[in-house]
Structures are given as structure tokens and as C-alpha cells.
């Protein structure tokens, strides 16, 4: 069975498109989408030989090799213009890695309509990248599964500031503008953990030697704790 996390991602894929799943591992997501006829074609990209072979074996065993292309390569590099990709999914990696894959593959994004990104960390980094590159954040969701909290970000071409308010920008970049509106159970679970973490760091810093760096860090922590208090 597909993990709930991947099912939520699949729900954000609009029908009949060609999708690319970057860092596809065992090609579970493309298998589900093509197997359920949600998309007509999928490209599963893997940089590592092991997962790439596991993906290919799965696709063959499902009898889906006509509709799912397994390609070895780094990030968006294996994608070509003639693939006519509507949606790119990058899931299950750190936010910094996801941003750097998008950055490195900039020119491959020209005709792509939707990005579905699921960073394990540093979602704020992705939100900043989306703004810089004129992508509009159209939805977010947070889920708890097997003891982890996952964030999914969905972006389309459009006004990059649409989801944000001028006077709340930094707070919204950190916590997610849609997450803040929706306040799912996973939101509270994640940020309660984070609050404790921040308080503990602040406690340690308060005992450390005062210098510009520790003071700046403490100020940032105070600001963040204040934002969390507001929620």
C-alpha cells in the first residue's frame, strides 16, 4: 500500500498529465499514478544505481514499462522538452537539496505548470525559492505518519506573493501561509516540538558567553517563539 504521504502527493496531481518524479526511489508514486490511470505517462528519475534498478524492476513487474520511463541522472537533467511534463514531484528529501535541484534545472521548468514538493526539512527555504522564481504557492498540507511530520507544498505559475501578507511575510515564510490558515493537527504537533527545541537552545545560549552572534541568534529565537505564541 502507498504511504499516506505519497497518497496526499498523488491527490495534488491533476489528471491526464505527464509527470516527472525526481528521486523516485522504487517508483511507487509513478506506479500508483499510472496504474490508477491518473496520468498517462510518468518519468521516474534516480541519481543512484540501486534505487534506479529497483524502480525499473518494479515498473517491469507491474507491466507499466510503456508508460513509465525510468531514467538515471541528477535532478532535472534527464528531462527533455519533448517530454512535455506538466507536473514535477520532488519528495522525501531535505529542503535545501530540493531547492538546489530546482535551481540547477531552471531551464527545464519553463513549460511546467505545477510543482509538488515535499521537503523533510527547511520548507522555508523552498518558499523563498518559489517567490524568487515567480511561482505562486497554491496550497500546503501537513500530515503525521509513522512518527514524522511531513509538509507538502504545491506551486503554480502566478503572482508569487498571492498567498502572503506584507506585514506577515517572514512569519508566513517560516510556518507556511496555508498551514497557518488550515492549522491541521500535524501543524500543532510539529511546532510544539519546535517550540521546546527553541526554548532549550535559548536556555543554553543564555548561559553562553554573550557576543554578537549569540545575541542575534537569541533575538531570532525570541521572534520565532513570539510567532508560535500567536498561534
Say if CB 167 and CB 25 are below 8 A apart.
no
Is 154 among the residues that bind ligand SAM (CB under 6 A)? no
Q: Which residue in 20, 22, 131, 152 binds ligand SAM (CB under 6 A)? A: 22
Range in contact with ligand SAM (rule: CB under 6 A) among 20-28, 105-113, 167-175, 210-218: 20-28
Residue with cell 553562553: 208
CB atoms within 10 A of CB 152: 21
Q: How far is the CB of 225 from ligand SAM (least distance, A)?
A: 31
CB neighbour list of residue 221: distance below 8 Å, 6 or more residues apart = 198, 201, 202, 205
Could you tell me the three cell numbers for 7? Answer: 497518497
Is 25 among the residues that bind ligand SAM (CB under 6 A)? yes
- Is the Cβ of residue 2 or residue 228 nearer to ligand SAM in the bound state? 2
Q: How far is the CB of 124 from ligand SAM (least distance, A)?
A: 20
Residues of span 181-210 touching ligand SAM by CB under 6 A: none
- Is the Cβ of residue 129 or residue 174 nearer to ligand SAM in the bound state? 129
Gap between the Cα atoms of 19 and 40, Å rounded: 9
Gap between the Cα atoms of 86 and 176, Å rounded: 24
Gap between the Cα atoms of 108 and 224, Å rounded: 36
Residues of span 33-92 touching ligand SAM by CB under 6 A: 45-48, 51, 74-75, 91-92
Is 102 among the residues that bind ligand SAM (CB under 6 A)? no
**Helix 95-104 with 123-132: angle, nearest 10 deg:** 20
Number of chain residues interacting with ligand SAM (CB under 6 A): 16
Q: Could you list the residues that contact ligand SAM (CB under 6 A)?
A: 6, 22-25, 45-48, 51, 74-75, 91-93, 101
Amino acid at each position: 500500500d502507498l504511504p499516506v504521504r505519497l497518497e496526499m502527493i498523488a491527490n495534488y496531481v491533476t489528471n491526464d498529465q505527464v509527470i516527472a518524479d525526481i528521486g523516485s526511489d522504487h517508483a511507487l508514486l509513478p506506479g500508483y499514478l499510472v496504474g490508477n490511470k491518473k496520468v498517462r505517462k510518468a518519468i521516474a528519475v534516480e541519481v543512484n544505481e540501486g534505487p534506479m534498478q529497483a524502480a525499473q524492476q518494479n515498473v517491469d513487474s507491474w507491466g507499466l514499462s510503456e508508460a513509465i520511463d525510468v531514467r538515471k541522472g541528477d535532478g532535472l537533467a534527464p528531462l527533455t522538452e519533448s517530454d512535455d511534463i506538466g507536473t514535477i514531484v520532488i519528495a522525501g528529501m531535505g529542503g535545501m537539496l530540493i531547492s538546489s535541484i530546482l535551481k540547477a534545472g531552471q531551464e527545464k521548468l519553463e513549460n511546467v505548470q505545477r510543482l509538488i514538493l515535499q521537503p523533510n526539512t527547511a520548507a522555508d527555504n523552498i518558499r523563498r525559492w518559489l517567490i524568487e522564481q515567480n511561482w505562486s504557492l497554491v496550497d500546503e498540507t501537513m500530515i503525521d505518519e509513522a512518527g514524522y511530520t511531513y509538509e507538502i507544498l504545491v506551486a503554480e505559475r502566478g503572482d508569487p506573493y498571492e498567498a502572503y501578507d506584507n506585514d506577515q511575510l517572514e512569519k508566513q515564510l517560516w510556518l507556511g501561509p496555508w498551514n497557518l490558515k488550515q492549522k491541521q493537527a500535524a501543524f500543532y504537533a510539529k511546532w510544539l516540538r519546535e517550540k521546546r527545541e527553541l526554548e532549550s537552545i535559548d536556555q543554553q545560549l543564555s548561559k553562553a558567553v554573550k557576543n554578537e552572534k549569540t545575541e542575534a541568534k537569541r533575538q531570532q529565537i525570541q521572534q520565532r517563539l513570539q510567532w508560535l505564541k500567536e498561534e
